[in-house]
Chains A and B, each alone.
Chain A
Amino acid sequence: MAGVSSVLIRAGRVIDPAAGTDLEGDVLVEGGRISAVGAGLDGDGAEVVDAAGLVVAPGFVDPHVHLCEPGWEHRETIRTGARAAAAGGYTAVCCMPDTDPVVDDPASVGFIVAEGRRAGGARVFPAAAVSAGRKGEQLTEFGEVVDAGAVAVTDAGRSVASSVLMRLALQYARSFDIPVLAHCEDADLARSGVMHEGVVSTRLGLRGKPAVAERIGVARDLALAEATGGRLHIQRVSTGAAASLIRRARRRGVRVTAEVTPHHLVLTHDVLADYGTDYKVDPPLRTPSDIEALREALADGTIDCVATDHAPRHYDEKEQAFDDAPFGAVGLETAFAVLHTRLVREGALTLAALLERLATGPARALGLEGGTLEPGRPADLVLIDPEMEWTIESAGFLSKGRNTPFDGERVMGRVVRTLVGGRTVWRLGEDA
C-alpha cells in the first residue's frame, strides 16, 4: 500500500471529537494529509477503503509508554512497541526516558526518533528526562533535546523530589513551550509500598502505598505550575483526591493536563487477592470509590487523556513472589477495547468522549498535530468495528510484553485498521 498517495475511506461513521462532528460519510486523504471530510466525496483514482459499519476517527495518541530501548530490549524495542501501538489504534506514542542509558541528551533523543521512523508503526515521540540521569539534581538541556525531537520532559516513574528543581523545570520548560510530565507522589511516603494501602494490603500482609502520597505530590506540582505558569501534565492519576485537586486547579486556570490508565479505570485493589503480579502496577490499583471519581473526572474533562503506561516486562520478571516482581502492565493493544466495553457500553462515557480522551486530549497535551480530522492535518486515522466481540489473548500480542491484567477477557469493539500519514500500518488479520 505504500506509494498510494490518495486514499478514500468511504461510507463510515466519521467521528471527529475535536470538531464535535459525528456523521455518515467519507474521509479523503491526499499526500498523507486529510484533504476532505464529508458525504459522497469523489476519490478520483484514490485507493478506496470501505468503512461500512466502521467508525472512522483520529488515530489515538498515547502520552505515556515505555518502549524500553535502549537497554531493556528483552522487554520491548522501539520497533515492537511502535507496531503494538499501531495494532491498538495508536498513531503516535510518547515514550518515556527511563531507559538505560537514560534519554537525557540530544544523541539519545535522536536515536529514538530515527528508530521510530524505521519501525513502521505508530509515530514515536520521545520525552527526555527532566534531570540528568533522572537523578533529580540538575536539569537536562531542554533546548538541545527539543531540537533533537523531544516533545516533553519527565523523570518518568520518579517524582522530582526537590521542589526547587521542579520549579526550575516548570519555569525553564516555558521557553520551549513543552509540558513537564510529572509522576506526582511523595517519594518518602510511597517508597516501600507494593500496592494500595488499605484493607486488601492489610489482609495480604503487603506493604501499602497510601493514597495521601499521591495527593501530596499532585498538590505540590499544581501549586508550582500555578506559581510558574508552566505546563504541567500529571501522569497516571489513581485517586479521587488527586482528581478533585486537578478539577479545582483547572477552574483557577492552571495550565494542567492529566492522564489516567485503563486499568485504573476498571480494576480495584481487590483483584490482588491472589497476589497476581500482572496486577502489580504503579501507582497501585485503588478502591471502588477512586474508580468512580476517576470515571467522573474523565467524563467531565478534568482528566483529558487516557494513557496506557504501557510497561512490558519479561515473563521471568513477573514470575516471582509479589514483592520481587516489577511494577507495570502492557496496554497498547487492549486500551480501546477495554474502555469501550467497560465504560462506553456501560454508559459511563460516550464513544465520542472516549475517542476525544484517546486522541484529541493527548495530542493537545503534548502539542502534537494529530488528534483531529481537520483538513490539512496528518492522515493519522483509526478504523474501528464497534460491534466486534473478541477475547484478549496475550499470546497474540505484537508487543514483547505479555503482562496484561486483562488476559482472557471478553471484550467488544476492535481496531481493524490504522493509518499513519495515509499509509496503512496495521490491519486486522494481516499481521502477526
Chain B
Amino acid sequence: MSLATPALGKDLTGLEPLSADQIRVILDTAEPFKEITERRVKKVPVLRGKTIVNLFFEASTRTRISFEFAEKRLSADTVNIGAAGSSVSKGETLVDTARNLEAMSIDMVVIRHWSAGAAAFLAARIPSNVINAGDGAHEHPTQGLLDILTLRDHFGTLEGLRVCIVGDVLHSRVARSNIYGLVKLGAEVGVCGPRTLLPASIEELGVTVFGRVEEAVEWADAINVLRLQLERMQDGFVPSLREYNRVFGITRERLESAPRRLLILHPGPMNRGVEIDSDVADGPHSVILQQVTNGVAVRMAVLYLLAGGAPHLAEAARDWTGS
C-alpha cells in the first residue's frame, strides 16, 4: 500500500468491505496507541480541533465509553447523543438527523443503531467519516477488530488459528464482524450453538458449524463466547437458560477436557452462569479484560486512520505530546 493513499476509505461500516491489508493496518496502528493508555498523561493531540458525535440510538455502556475514551485521548471534541431525550425519541428520521449533522459540519460520527444497514445508510448521506458502533445484527467492526487484536497478541499470528464463536450467532453483529475479519486474515472459523440460533446458510460464509460445544472445544484454539440475550428464551429460541448452560455453557470442566489450552474471549456484558461460568470468566483462560483495554487502542487507531492519519506516523503521534 502506497503511503500516499489513505489506509481506509471514508467510513468504517464493517469488516466485510475491508481487505486483509486494511485490517492489518488498523491492527498495526493500534499497537503504538496501546501504550498511551498506560501513561500518566493519557492524551495526544492528533485529533485536536476535530468534532465527533457519538450517536447512540441504542443503549450502550461499554462501547460508548470506549469510543469516548479513544476520542478524548486523541484530543477530539466530542458530543454524545443518546436516543432517550433527544430529537430521535421525538420521531426524527435518520435522514433528518444526518442532514442536521451535516449542517453542523461534524467531522466524524460514531453510530449505534438497532437497524442493520443504518451506518451505511448514514455514511452514504453525509460527508463526515462514519464509524459503525453496531447496526442491528449486521456488524460491530471495532469489536471484531479488538477481538482479533487480542487473538493476535496471544498467538502471534492468525494464519491457521482455529477460533470458534459459541452462542447466539443469529442475532449477533459481533459474530459477523469476527467471521469476516478472521476469515480474511486466514484463520479457521467455527460457529457453535443451538440450531435455532444459527442463521440460514451460515456455512456459506466460510465457517464450520458445530452442533455440540464438546466438538468445538475439541477443535478450537480460542473460543469467543457470545452473550445470550435473555429475551431469546422468551422468544422460544432456547427452552431454558438452565438447559442452555448445561448444553452450550463454557464451563471449567469443558475447558479442562480440551486437548490444548483454550483462550476465552467474551464481548460482554456477560451473563455469568448462562453462557459462561464465573470460574472461566475470572480464570486464567480468560482475556476478557484485555479485550476491553485493546478496545480503546483499536478505536483510537480507527479514528486516527479515518481522520487521514498515515499508518507509519502513528508511532510519531504517540511520541508527540504537542505544545
Contact = CB atoms under 8 A, between A and B. Distances in A.
B118 A321 contact: yes
A324 B114 CA distance: 10
B227 interface: no
B44 to A, nearest CB: 35
Given A275-B121, A320-B93, A323-B136, A206 B201 contact: no
A202 B113 CA distance: 18
A274 B120 contact: yes
Interface-centre pick from A203, A207, A321 (highest chain B CB count, 10 A): A321
Interface string A202-217: 1111111010000000
B171 to A, nearest CB: 8
B200 interface: yes
Contacts of A274: 120
Contacts of B138: 204-206
Contacts, number: 67
Interface in A309-323: 316, 319-323
B202 interface: yes
Identify which of A204, A207, A274 gathers the most chain B CB atoms within 10 Å of its CB: A204
Contacts of B310: none
Nearest to B120: A275
A208 to B, nearest CB: 6
B103 to A, nearest CB: 17
Interface in A282-300: none
B112 interface: no
Given A198-B200, A208-B200, A275-B120, A323 B115 contact: yes
A174 B138 CA distance: 49
Interface string A123-163: 00000000000000000000000000000000000000000
Contacts of A322: 115-117, 121
B197 interface: no
A42 to B, nearest CB: 61
B140 to A, nearest CB: 10
A197 interface: yes
B137 interface: yes
Given A275-B121, A321-B113, A321-B121, A201 B200 contact: yes
A203 B205 contact: yes
Contacts of B204: 199, 202
Contacts of B115: 321-324
Nearest to B137: A205
A206 B200 contact: no
Given A275-B120, A321-B121, A322-B117, A201 B199 contact: yes
B242 to A, nearest CB: 27
A199 B204 CA distance: 7
A319 B93 CA distance: 9
Contact of A203 (B16, B113, B114, B136): B16
Contact of A275 (B94, B117, B137, B176): B117
Contacts of A319: 93, 95
Interface in B52-102: 93-95
A323 to B, nearest CB: 4
Given A316-B93, A319-B95, A202 B200 contact: yes
A324 B135 CA distance: 13
Nearest to B173: A205
A204 B115 CA distance: 10
Contacts of A204: 116-117, 138
A199 B200 contact: yes
Contact of B136 (A198, A199, A205): A205
A323 B93 contact: no
A31 B62 CA distance: 77
Contacts of A206: 116-117, 136-138
A210 B200 CA distance: 9
Given A206-B136, A323-B136, A197 B93 contact: no
Interface of A: 197-199, 201-208, 210, 274-275, 316, 319-324
15 contacts: A199-B200, A199-B204, A201-B199, A202-B202, A204-B138, A206-B116, A210-B200, A274-B120, A275-B117, A275-B121, A319-B93, A320-B95, A321-B121, A322-B116, A323-B136
Interface of B: 16, 93-95, 113-118, 120-121, 135-139, 173, 176, 199-202, 204-205
Q: Which 10 A-B residue pairs are closest in the complex by CB-CB distance?
A: A205-B138, A275-B117, A205-B137, A321-B115, A199-B201, A202-B199, A205-B116, A323-B115, A199-B204, A321-B118
Given A205-B137, A206-B138, A322-B117, 16 more contacts: A202-B200, A203-B176, A205-B116, A205-B135, A205-B136, A206-B137, A208-B199, A274-B120, A275-B116, A275-B117, A275-B121, A319-B93, A320-B121, A321-B117, A321-B118, A321-B121
